[in-house]
């Protein structure tokens, strides 16, 4: 009993000493951490620049901004946008464009005249586009098909019928709007001469304007995508085209304009709206219609009005 007491007291003293040393270390560590934190806070909150340093920094920022090539950056940005836009436009070779147009027109001509509605024409064209696109993609993958498209033309056809379809529709004049019912109201008293005023500026003598007249010819500018505010503007567009046409290109010598707010009748597959301006060329201009549509013609074309709604002119080039 007496020999165990000294060992017990020694063990207690050792534990107590260890606890004291650990406590001191913890307190010291906390003190050091607090000092470091206080120093960091003070360094961020108490540091300030002198007026001269602030002035020098402002001058430096101004010099750096002035040295930036802002005009060059703007030009590069515009150039990138222009290149991206040009890359999105698909330029089909003329012979290939004509080939596709002929195929579309053949499909449209095959429609039943009794049920040849705008919706049906649009569905027919869309069906053709999907079939031709599928056919071209097979050619791109190397498959041998009995196709009107050559293997080397397949890739550009795929682009034209997919990402460039909207632009191609506008370029070839394939515009199928909502159907327009053309009605002509003849409320002129009997025996009174007809007197009409076309909207816009007065047409000069060189335009040779003829009311209720429709001339034929090869289109050098599709009216479906070429609206003009007045017959005067349409005539001027014809004269300008003739002046600026290439030597081997066709010069406009016929302009045909639709002044009717309800649209203008034509026996083709399209629906023609107000302000359409067609620029045409013909070595020997010939009339399609003049004055009124005959009774026999209106029997075969129920939508035709009594009076020809177009205004046209043959100009000298």
pLDDT for 236: 93
Let me know whether 231 and 274 are in one domain.
Answer: yes
Question: Does residue 192 register a pLDDT over 50?
Answer: no
170 vs 223 pLDDT, higher one: 223
**What's the structural domain count of the chain?**
2
The tens digit of pLDDT for each residue in 209-256 reads 999 999 999 999 999 999 999 999 999 999 999 998 887 778 999 999
Question: Does residue 73 register a pLDDT over 90?
Answer: no
Q: Look at residue 42 and tell me if it is in a domain.
A: no
Let me know whether 230 and 166 are in one domain.
Answer: no
Let me know whether 211 and 306 are in one domain.
Answer: yes
Residue 272 DSSP label: B
pLDDT for 196: 58
Q: Look at residue 294 and tell me if it is in a domain.
A: yes
How far apart are the C-alpha atoms of 258 and 224, rounded to whole Å? 11
pLDDT for 310: 94
The tens digit of pLDDT for each residue in 293-303 reads 888 888 888 88
> By mean pLDDT, which of 9-23, 87-101, 133-147 is the weakest?
9-23
The pLDDT-based confidence of 178 (bands split at 50, 70, 90) is very low
Element (H, E) at 219: strand 218-221
157 vs 19 pLDDT, higher one: 157
Average pLDDT over residues 186-214: 73
Let me know whether 168 and 225 are in one domain.
Answer: no
Let me know whether 148 and 216 are in one domain.
Answer: no
Q: Look at residue 194 and tell me if it is in a domain.
A: no
DSSP 178-198: ----------PPTTPPP----
**Given its phi and psi angles, is residue 204 left (phi above 0), alpha (psi -120 to 50 degrees) or beta?**
beta
Which of 148, 172, 196 finishes a domain? 172
The tens digit of pLDDT for each residue in 26-59 reads 877 777 777 666 655 555 444 566 788 778 878 7
Q: How many DSSP H helices and E strands does the chain contain?
A: 9, 7
Q: Are 308 and 213 in contact (CB under 8 A)?
A: yes
Q: Look at residue 247 and tell me if it is in a domain.
A: yes
Which of 117, 150, 172 finishes a domain? 172
DSSP 39-103: HHHHHHHS----HHHHHHHHHHHHHHHHTS-HHHHHHHHHHHHHHHHHHHS----HHHHHHHHHH
Task: Residue count of the chain, please give it.
Answer: 317
Let me know whether 211 and 254 are in one domain.
Answer: yes
Question: Does residue 140 register a pLDDT over 80?
Answer: yes
Boundaries of domain holding 150: 84-172
Write down the mean pLDDT value for the chain. Answer: 77
Q: Look at residue 104 and tell me if it is in a domain.
A: yes
Listed residue (275, 300, 303, 305) closest to 179, CA to CA = 303
Q: Look at residue 61 and tell me if it is in a domain.
A: no
90 vs 204 pLDDT, higher one: 204
Average pLDDT over residues 276-281: 94
| CATH for 215 | 3.50.4.10
Element (H, E) at 220: strand 218-221
Q: Look at residue 11 and tell me if it is in a domain.
A: no
Contacts 24+ apart (CB under 8 A), 181-189: 181/262, 181/303, 182/260, 182/262, 182/263, 182/264, 182/265, 182/303, 182/304, 182/305, 182/309, 183/262, 183/305, 184/305, 184/306, 184/307, 184/309, 186/306, 186/307
Give pTM, 2 decimals.
0.43
């Amino acid at each position: 009993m007496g020999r165990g007491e000294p060992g017990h007291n020694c063990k207690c003293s050792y534990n107590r000493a260890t606890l004291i040393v650990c406590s001191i270390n913890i307190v010291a560590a906390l003190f050091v951490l607090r000092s470091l934190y206080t120093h960091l806070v003070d360094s961020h909150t108490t540091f300030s620049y002198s007026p001269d340093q602030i002035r020098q920094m402002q001058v430096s920022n101004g010099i750096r901004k002035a040295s930036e090539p802002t005009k060059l950056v703007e030009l590069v940005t515009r150039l990138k946008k222009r290149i991206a836009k040009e890359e999105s436009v698909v330029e089909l070779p003329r012979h290939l464009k004509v080939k596709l147009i002929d195929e579309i027109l053949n499909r449209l001509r095959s429609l039943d005249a009794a049920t040849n509605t705008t919706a049906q024409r649009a569905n027919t064209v869309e069906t053709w586009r999907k079939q031709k696109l599928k056919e071209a993609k097979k050619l791109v993958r190397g498959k041998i098909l009995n196709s009107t498209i050559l293997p080397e033309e397949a890739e550009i056809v795929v682009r034209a019928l997919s990402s460039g379809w909207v632009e191609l529709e506008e370029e070839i004049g394939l515009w199928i709007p909502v159907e327009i019912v053309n009605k002509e109201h003849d409320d002129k008293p009997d025996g009174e001469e007809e007197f009409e005023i076309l909207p816009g500026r007065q047409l000069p003598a060189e335009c040779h304007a003829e009311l209720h007249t429709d001339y034929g010819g090869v289109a050098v500018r599709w009216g479906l995508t070429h609206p003009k505010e007045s017959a005067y503007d349409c005539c001027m567009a014809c004269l300008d085209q003739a002046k600026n046409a290439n030597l081997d290109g066709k010069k406009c010598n016929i302009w045909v304009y639709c002044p009717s707010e309800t649209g203008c009748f034509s026996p083709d597959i399209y629906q023609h709206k107000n302000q359409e301006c067609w620029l045409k060329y013909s070595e020997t201009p010939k009339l399609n219609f003049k004055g009124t549509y005959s009774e026999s013609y209106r029997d075969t074309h129920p939508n035709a009005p009594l009076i020809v709604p177009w205004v046209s002119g043959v100009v000298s080039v």
